Amino acid sequence: MGKSKKLSIMSLVILTVLSSCTAEKKQEVQVEEKPLVRLETVNTQAVEQIQEFTATVEANVVNNISPSMSLRINNILVEVGDHVRKGQVLAQMDKANLIQSKTQLDNIQLEYDRISELYKVGGASKQSVDAQKTQLDVAKTAYENLKENTQLVSPVDGIVTARNYDNGDMIGAEPVVTIEQMTPVKLLVNVSESFYTRVKKGMDVKVKIEVYGDEIFHGKVSLVYPTIDPQTRTFPVEIKLPNNDLKVRPGMFARVTMNFGTQDHVVAPDLSIIKQAGSGDRYIYVYKDGKVAYNKVLLGRRMDNKYEVISGVSDGDQVVVAGQSRLTNGTEVTVDNSKN
What pLDDT digit, counting tens, does each position of 279-299 carry? 889 999 999 999 999 999 999
Inside any domain, residue 319: yes
| Residue where one domain finishes, among candidates 101, 126, 150 | 150
Q: How far apart are CA 252 and CA 241, in angstroms?
A: 13
Q: How far apart are CA 86 and CA 317, in angstroms?
A: 64
Regarding whether 270 and 210 lie in a shared domain, the answer is no
Domain that holds residue 220: 52-60+183-261
Q: How far apart are CA 270 and CA 268, in angstroms?
A: 6
Inside any domain, residue 241: yes
Residue 223 pLDDT greater than 80, yes or no: yes
Regarding whether 257 and 191 lie in a shared domain, the answer is yes
What's residue 148's pLDDT?
A: 83
**pLDDT confidence band for 103 (50 / 70 / 90):** very high
Q: What's the mean pLDDT when you consider all of the chain?
A: 88
What's residue 29's pLDDT?
A: 47
What phi, psi does 285 have (nearest 5°)?
-80, 125
Q: Who's near 93: CB < 8 A, 6+ residues apart?
A: 67, 71, 72, 73, 74, 149, 150, 151, 152, 171
**pLDDT confidence band for 174 (50 / 70 / 90):** very high
Contact between 233 and 197 (Cβ < 8 Å): no
What percent of the chain has a predicted confidence (pLDDT) above 70? 90
pLDDT in tens, 127-139: 988 999 999 999 9
Residue 152 β-bridge partners: 91
DSSP 8-class letter at 35: P
Residue 23 pLDDT greater than 90, yes or no: no
Edge-to-edge strand list for the sheet holding 89-93: 73-76, 89-93, 151-153
| Residue where one domain finishes, among candidates 238, 261, 284 | 261
CATH number of the domain encompassing residue 283: 2.40.420.20
What's residue 220's pLDDT?
A: 97
Inside any domain, residue 159: no
Cα 14 to chain centroid, rounded: 78
Regarding whether 289 and 256 lie in a shared domain, the answer is no
Regarding whether 56 and 187 lie in a shared domain, the answer is yes
Residue at 221: amino acid letter: V
What phi, psi does 272 have (nearest 5°)?
-85, -10
Q: How far apart are CA 140 and CA 133, in angstroms?
A: 11
What phi, psi does 176 have (nearest 5°)?
-65, -55
**pLDDT confidence band for 318 (50 / 70 / 90):** very high
**pLDDT confidence band for 20 (50 / 70 / 90):** low
What's residue 260's pLDDT?
A: 85
What phi, psi does 71 have (nearest 5°)?
-135, 160
Structural domains counted in the chain: 3
Regarding whether 307 and 257 lie in a shared domain, the answer is no
CATH number of the domain encompassing residue 191: 2.40.30.170
**pLDDT confidence band for 50 (50 / 70 / 90):** confident
Regarding whether 241 and 272 lie in a shared domain, the answer is no
Q: How far apart are CA 70 and CA 214, in angstroms?
A: 49
Q: How far apart are CA 294 and CA 277, in angstroms?
A: 14
Inside any domain, residue 276: yes
Regarding whether 195 and 56 lie in a shared domain, the answer is yes
Residue 293 β-bridge partners: 286
Regarding whether 280 and 233 lie in a shared domain, the answer is no
Regarding whether 311 and 270 lie in a shared domain, the answer is yes
pLDDT in tens, 106-119: 999 999 999 898 88
Contact between 217 and 209 (Cβ < 8 Å): yes
Regarding whether 287 and 248 lie in a shared domain, the answer is no
Name the nearest CA neighbour of 190 among 256, 280, 261, 249.
256
Residue 339 pLDDT greater than 70, yes or no: no
| Residue where one domain finishes, among candidates 261, 282, 299 | 261
Q: How far apart are CA 289 and CA 238, in angstroms?
A: 52
Residue at 215: amino acid letter: E
What's residue 68's pLDDT?
A: 85
Q: How far apart are CA 238 and CA 249, in angstroms?
A: 16
Coil, helix or strand at residue 72? strand
Regarding whether 251 and 224 lie in a shared domain, the answer is yes
Regarding whether 276 and 234 lie in a shared domain, the answer is no
Residue 120 pLDDT greater than 80, yes or no: yes
How large is the average pLDDT for residues 157-185? 94
Helix then strand count (H, E) for the chain reads: 3, 19
Name the nearest CA neighbour of 63 among 35, 37, 90.
90
Inside any domain, residue 198: yes
Q: How far apart are CA 154 and CA 85, in angstroms?
A: 7
Inside any domain, residue 192: yes
Inside any domain, residue 69: no
Inside any domain, residue 309: yes
What phi, psi does 32 have (nearest 5°)?
-70, -25
Q: Which among 15-19, 40-44, 114-118 has the top mean pLDDT?
A: 40-44
Residue 16 pLDDT greater than 80, yes or no: no
